[in-house]
C-alpha cells in the first residue's frame, strides 16, 4: 500500500504570485487571452488597471487577478 504524498492537498500557487508588481501590456494581454491591441485599448479606456511610469504603460498585476480568476470581466 502506498502512502499519499500530500501533493493533492497542497494549495496550488496562483499564476500571478510569481510575477512582478507591474507587467507589460503585451504580457498582460497574453495572460488574459487578449490581442495586444485590445489590451492597449482597454488600458486607454481605463478598463485595464495601469500605471504610467517614464512614458511607459504597465499593468498592475494584483488588480488583474479578478480578471484571470473570472470573478470580473472587461467591458466589451
Question: For the chain, which residues make up each domain, given as ranges?
Answer: 22-69
- What pTM value is reported for the model? 0.73
pLDDT of residue 75: 65
How far apart are alpha carbons 23 and 11 in whole angstroms?
A: 24
Strand duo 50-53 + 56-60: pairing: antiparallel
**Buried b / exposed e across 28-38, counting CB within 10 Å, b at 16+?**
bbebbebeeee
Strand duo 56-60 + 22-24: pairing: antiparallel
Q: Digits of tens for pLDDT over the chain (76 positions)?
A: 555 555 556 676 766 778 899 999 999 999 999 999 999 999 999 999 999 999 999 999 999 988 877 776 776 6
Amino acid at each position: 500500500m502506498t502512502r499519499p504524498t500530500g501533493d493533492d492537498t497542497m494549495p496550488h500557487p496562483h499564476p500571478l504570485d510569481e510575477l512582478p508588481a507591474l507587467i507589460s501590456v503585451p504580457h498582460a494581454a497574453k495572460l488574459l487571452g487578449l490581442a495586444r491591441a485590445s489590451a492597449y485599448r482597454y488600458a486607454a479606456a481605463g478598463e485595464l488597471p495601469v500605471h504610467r511610469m517614464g512614458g511607459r504603460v504597465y499593468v498592475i498585476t494584483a488588480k488583474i487577478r479578478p480578471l484571470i480568476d473570472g470573478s470580473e470581466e472587461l467591458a466589451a
